[in-house]
Amino acid sequence: STVVLVFQAPTLKMLQNRDSSSEFRFSIRRGDRVRVGEALGRWHD
Amino acid sequence: TSLLKRVQTASQVRASFNGSSGNPRGNIFLVPGATVATLLMLGALHARRLYDDKKVEEAREKGIEFEFQPDHKASFLRMLPLRSISRLFGSLTSVELPVWMRPHVYRAWARAFHSNLEEVALPLENYASLREFFVRTLKEGSRPIDPDPHCLVSPVDGTVLRFGELKGSGTMIEQVKGFSYSVSSLLGASSLLPVITEGDMHKESSEQQGNLKEKNKKSWWRFSLASPKIRDTVSACPAKGLYYCVIYLSPGDYHLIHSPADWNVLVRRHFSGHLFPVNERATRTIRNLYVQNERVVLEGLWEGGFMAIAAIGATNIGSIKLFIEPELQTNQRRQKILNSEPPDERVYELEGVGKTLKKGAEVAAFNLG
């Protein structure tokens, strides 16, 4: 079985600068084993 | 054992009734022989699978990227009654096991698929069937939820296959090198996925000063739910800051799905498709694997905007149980002839906020068969 997660990251900065990308950064790599509750990525407030 | 004895007795009675002068021992060994042959075959298949997995792992470590290559085995899979096989597998694994046998069976399963039995919530004897054991819960504190309010957590245990940002026209996710599938096909044509068409781009530039979160709440889903329409997925581009992550769960993994963040689920969609396997090989050989397979999609809003989880079934793990909608039945006998028929959709509280889920809350479970 497989789970696909699609999400929009918080992008408040985009309101000021439309060319900037999101502050969201993945903290995983391909092939990593992840467990429930572990961070997939983070963003700055 | 009793079945075996009965077969042996019947064959002996039949031989004496017919006055057969042949040696009845030939028949006696027929059933055990077939059983041994089946076990040997299953063992060989499992060894082959472990070997393939190891080769794939080694290749991945070396940075080798597998390319899409359809083969005759994939074509053959299409001809198999995979749904019936899946349902039969589910029935077999639902059989209640004798209490003395349970720890042996579950330990064997754990050894074969690398499950950690130390974190199982209940004593092994308490799980009446393999199916029940498969959707076991874990001991309190086995899966601590990252407390950082600025992080998104993994909804499942598994291996990260792909992740990244959705860019460019068509909003495509790469299945493997050389083949991609569209997110709109995965989530459904009436998805709330924030895409920007040419007309939207002009409109959006005049609304720059608006509050993004308010816009998320009001425009997307009201627009999409009130007047669903099929978008032109080819010309549409994803809105900025839209990401995806594909996680594969192997048979030994903990198979419950948790909420990756605090969010409100607004819509559920159930696609009754095929039940192809979703292992590494299948992703390389079957086109649109995730788009063709049976799946349940949950869509809603969180503080970042749009969020969707697609739980995709497979031959062995064919049905999905939703804790927020226990009455939903999946992996049912096929009623739809064409897979292109629209999915079964349910809107949770059209005028409300949907179903509220807390970060780390149990959302769904994959069942055997």
Q: What DSSP string describes B6-70?
A: HHHHHHHHHHHHTT--S-THHHHTHHHHHHHHHHHHHHHHHHHHHHHHHHHHHHHHTTPPPBP--
Contact in structure between A3 and B295 (CB atoms under 8 Å): no
d(CA B69, CA B32): 40
- Residues of B186-204 as b/e, b for ≥16 C-beta within 10 angstroms? bbbebbbbbbeeeeeeeee
Tell me the chain A residues in contact with residue B145 when contact means C-beta distances shorter than 8 Å.
36-37
Chain B from 172 to 231: CB within 8 A of any A CB = 173, 183, 186-187, 193-194, 208-209, 212
d(CA A39, CA A26): 8
d(CA B2, CA A41): 56
Chain B from 275 to 304: CB within 8 A of any A CB = 278, 290, 302-304
d(CA B324, CA B321): 9
| Strand B263-271 to B319-322 pairing | unpaired
CA distance, residue A26 to nearest chain B CA (Å)? 8
The reported pLDDT for the residue numbered B338 is 59
d(CA B20, CA B35): 26
Q: Enter the tokens of residue B217.
A: 């709440």
Q: Enter the tokens of residue B327.
A: 């009455």
Q: Enter the tokens of residue B207.
A: 């609304």
Q: Tokens 């330990």 sit at which residue?
A: B107
d(CA B209, CA B96): 62
The reported pLDDT for the residue numbered A16 is 54
Q: Tokens 């895409």 sit at which residue?
A: B195
Element (H, E) at B7: helix B2-17
Of A3, A14, A32, the CB nearest to B240: A14
Are B258 and A38 within 8 A, CB to CB?
no
d(CA B122, CA A29): 33
Backbone angles phi, psi at B337, to 5 degrees: -80, -45
pLDDT digits (tens, 9 = 90+) for B156-184: 999 999 999 988 777 899 898 888 999 99
Are B148 and A22 within 8 A, CB to CB?
no
Q: Enter the tokens of residue B297.
A: 């999609």
Minimum Cα–Cα distance from A43: chain B residue? B150
d(CA B314, CA B300): 25
Which portions of chain B are predicted below pLDDT 50? 17, 20-22, 201-202, 204-234
B344 or A11, higher pLDDT: B344
Single out the residue of B154, B102, B147, B144 nearest to residue B123, CA to CA. Answer: B102
Of B161, B241, B366, the CB nearest to A11: B241
Q: Enter the tokens of residue B7.
A: 């077969």
Interface membership of B24 toward A (CB under 8 Å): no
Task: Centre a 10 Å sphere on the Cβ of residue B86 and count the other Cβ atoms it contains.
Answer: 22
d(CA B256, CA B364): 6
d(CA B25, CA B364): 52
Q: Tokens 């600068």 sit at which residue?
A: A17
Are B143 and A22 within 8 A, CB to CB?
no
Of B145, B244, B366, the CB nearest to A5: B244
Minimum Cα–Cα distance from B276: chain A residue? A1
Q: Tokens 């970060």 sit at which residue?
A: B359
d(CA B92, CA B86): 10
* Furthest CA-CA distance within chain B: 97
d(CA B333, CA B94): 18
Rg of chain A over CA atoms, in angstroms? 13
Query: In terms of residues, how long is chain B?
Result: 369
Single out the residue of B245, B250, B263 nearest to residue A4, CA to CA. Answer: B245
pLDDT digits (tens, 9 = 90+) for B82-131: 999 999 999 999 999 999 999 999 999 999 889 999 999 999 999 999 99
The reported pLDDT for the residue numbered B77 is 86
Tell me the chain A residues in contact with residue B155 when contact means C-beta distances shorter than 8 Å.
3, 5, 36
The reported pLDDT for the residue numbered B2 is 61
Single out the residue of B162, B163, B311 nearest to residue B242, CA to CA. Answer: B163
Q: Enter the tokens of residue B129.
A: 């069937």
The residues, any chain, with a CB within 8 Å of residue B220's CB and separated by 6 or more, are B192, B194, B301, B306
The reported pLDDT for the residue numbered A17 is 54
Chain A from 13 to 32: CB within 8 A of any B CB = 14-15, 18, 21-22, 24, 26-32
| Single-letter amino acid, residue B209 | Q
State ipTM.
Answer: 0.87
CA distance, residue A8 to nearest chain B CA (Å)? 4
The reported pLDDT for the residue numbered B306 is 93
Q: Enter the tokens of residue B125.
A: 């004897």
The reported pLDDT for the residue numbered B359 is 96
